[in-house]
Structures are given as C-alpha cells and as structure tokens.
Amino acid sequence: MIVFPAIDLRHGRCVRLRQGRAEEETVYGDDPVAVAVRWVAQGAEWLHVVNLDGAFGEQIGDFRRPINLQRLAEIQAAVPQTPIQFGGGVRSLADVETALDLGATRVILGTVAVQNPDLVEEMIGRFGSERIVIGIDARDGQVATHGWLRTSDTTAITLGQAMRSKGVSRIVYTDIARDGMLTGVNVEATAALARATGLQVIASGGVASLEDIVRLGASQPTGSGSAGRIEGVIIGQALYTGAVSLPDAIRTARNPTES
C-alpha cells in the first residue's frame, strides 16, 4: 500500500480539521511548502493536498489564482519529482485543467460525482482514469457533499458502483465521523467498498496507529472476480501530532503482514 501524507490547506496555511468542521481547526504551519518538503524528505511517495477553501466555497486571495492554488504550484515546484493528489472544490473541466496545469498528478472530484455523473464520464474521457479520482466521503454510510456540509440519500457503495460504470478506476473513501479524531480507520467499510465496486480504494479518516495500516493490509479483498483492492491510506492528524511517524508508516504499508 501507498501512504499519502495529507496537507490540508485553509487560507494558505496547513491545518487539520476534526470531522471536517471549519470551527474545529488546528493550524500546523503557515508554510505548507516546508511541510511538503519534510514529508518527502521522510520518504513520501505521494502527497495528498486538499483545498479546504474550495470545498467550503470560499474565495481567498486573487480570484485569478486563489491562495491555495498558489500553494499547490509552490509545493509542486519544491518537490517536482513527487506526484500530488489534489482535491477540494473541483467541480468543472476548467477546475481540473487548472489543477493539472499547476502541478497536480491526480485530481479528486467529490460533489460533482453526485450532482453530475455524466460530467465525470466526460472528464475520464478527456483526462483519463489515472488523472481523475472520486472522493467518496460518507457519514453513517451516506455520501456527504459541499465540504461535508450536506448529506445525500446516496450510499457510498451505490455511488462507487455508479462511478465504475462511468470509467472511474480509483476512489478515496473517508469516514467523516473518524476524520481527524484518531479513533482508528474504518477498515470494514473500506474493504466492503473495494469488494462491492471492484475499484482501487484509498482509505482516509481516523488513522491512529500503525495497527490501522496492518488491519487494512489484512483486509484486502481476495478471490477471483474481485478487482478491487485497498491501494493506500491517507494519514493526517496522526502524523502532525506525532502519534505515527511517516517512515514507520511507509515501512508498515509496504509489508503489513510482517508488522
């Protein structure tokens, strides 16, 4: 599995939220570029960068290039050999093009997948399935949108299956109740989503210890006919608080059965 260190951007700073709540914000630095350089120096193979301003519908900075998009460009320039997975408020072809132009390797779509699945199919056709990732963020199994402020009637599995039919190959699955809480990743729901959809799933939300990574590795879907797998895990709060070290997480993810 791949470990994705999370860099969540709000008003240009590196922050962490609890359960996606703007009022539950902890600032971990005014220099996200320095954070990115640190994670790469510790062995990060990918970075997971989120534009929280975009997710919340906020406009901070020059309208031609909001501050968090400027931070994306700065991060890419600082660690040009490290691929970046980027999301937050990406809801149009132009948004995807902008993110890719600024250095993102993959772009995550969330709200648009629920509201306009045909547009997702168009994006896959234009950019390819390796460049487009669907973010499925769930609260009690129901998909949340608009920066997690609204909960839809669609289940995570239903949306995942619909996205596969549109050509999607990879999703990021977040259990909102666990995000930023250090209560342990929802291994069961993550594995069930991979089995039911046949997609590559990146787990997110609640990683508290190396044991979460071990459990994810032990829960890989098996058997013929199951193309789905748990491809990786996003770690945020646990890295910033020191509960987990990135080098240890990477070693465990590469060989979870030996940990």
Catalytic one among 53, 95, 137, 212? Answer: 137
Residue 18, Ramachandran bin (φ over 0: left; ψ between -120 and 50: alpha; else beta): beta
Nearest by Cα to 236 from 190, 192, 204, 199: 204
Q: What share of the chain is helix, strand, coil (3-state, %, to 5)?
A: 40, 30, 30
Catalytic one among 8, 95, 175, 212? Answer: 8
The residue behind tokens 């799933």 is 201
Evaluate whether 137 touches 108 at the Cβ level (below 8 Å).
no
Instruction: Report the alpha-carbon distance of residue 255 to residue 222 in Å, rounded.
Output: 17
The residue behind tokens 């193979």 is 45
**Tokens encoding 180:** 């930023």
Instruction: Report the alpha-carbon distance of residue 235 to residue 209 in Å, rounded.
Output: 10
Evaluate whether 163 touches 171 at the Cβ level (below 8 Å).
yes
Could you confirm whether 137 is annotated as catalytic? yes
Q: How does DSSP classify residue 121?
A: H
Active-site residue numbers? Answer: 8, 137
